[in-house]
Amino acid sequence: MLEIFFCNVGDGDAVLLRERREGAPDYTVLADAGRPYPEPAEGSFRKEAIYYLKALGIERLDRMYLTHLHIDHVGGARRILNEVRTGSLYALYVPPPDAGWIAPSFRSVSKTENGLKCLLNIFREVTETAHGNGCEVRTVRGGTESLTERLSVSVLLPKTAIAERQKHVFDALYRNEPVDADEAYKAAKQRNLSSLMLLFTYAERSVLITGDRYAADWEDEPVGPVDVLKLPHHGDPKSMTEGLLKKIAPRYAVISCQSDPRGGKDRPNAEVVALLQWNVPHVLCTENRPLPTLPASTHNWIRIVIGDDGAITCETE
């Protein structure tokens, strides 16, 4: 059977897939690693991704995917790599071998500029930690790959122009080369649009993990109906459109969010939740504030199980 754990890491993503195999070790995949330190809140179960792995007895990850370079997706990776043996780390972009430390701009107060530079330094530390612990670091490629006899993954890449711009800017920053300010700004602001999307298939059932890629950007992608959808961007107004939702027609939609949205952001958005509830049989949040059609809730995780016969069950803890 395949277990999918959507962990409550607050405003961030961490999804563990574990195939339980009779007579063989479990096969484990982690998609994103949450924040390095989710801020605790009264009445909330949110915590770092590493604690969920330990609670589940995960001693090895066969793969870790980082969908894109935002702190709520990569921030917890370094600690996991230090404490859990990991076979391979996959990302759209990997720092060049000669990557150096990037100095934040001393006279700039730009959140976008210095936020990007700080995040790239964190990501360099993540990849160096991986190398130091015997974990392969790989640039992900598109297409479908069999992971086990029953489990496969299809990687949907972002638009080529966005990925190329990102690589050009990030490589130059790591090498302390001059970078056009407008190009750097675009690369920073398009990190959500550069999200990998991962489609896992097991027993003829499918699980789509979308990173933070805005719905309007992938409405035309060749993605058919799926059984389980991890909603992009924490269920905010850009996360879903009616046309896309009807095309992918999930049975379960999961929103990773927190009950006190950071910076007053609208996560999850009440209209998006209502749209989901109108079209999807099961809509769940790792944590949420009360909404007109959704009571407040907080969970340690949402656990969805796909049996070898394709039957799907869901429970929360």
State mean pLDDT over 87-101: 97
pTM to 2 decimals? 0.97
Rounded CA separation 246/85 (Å): 40
Query: Is residue 39 within 8 Å of 263, Cβ to Cβ?
Result: no
Residue span of the structural domain in which 164 resides: 2-316
Rounded CA separation 312/3 (Å): 10
Cβ-Cβ contacts under 8 Å for 141 (sequence gap 6 or more): 155, 157
**Number of structural domains, the chain?**
1
At 123, list the tokens. Answer: 């990501």
Rounded CA separation 80/51 (Å): 9
- CATH of residue 44: 3.60.15.10
pLDDT band of 111, cuts 50, 70, 90: confident
pLDDT tens for 143-169 read 999 999 999 999 999 999 999 999 999
State mean pLDDT over 241-247: 97
pLDDT tens for 263-286 read 889 999 999 999 999 999 999 999
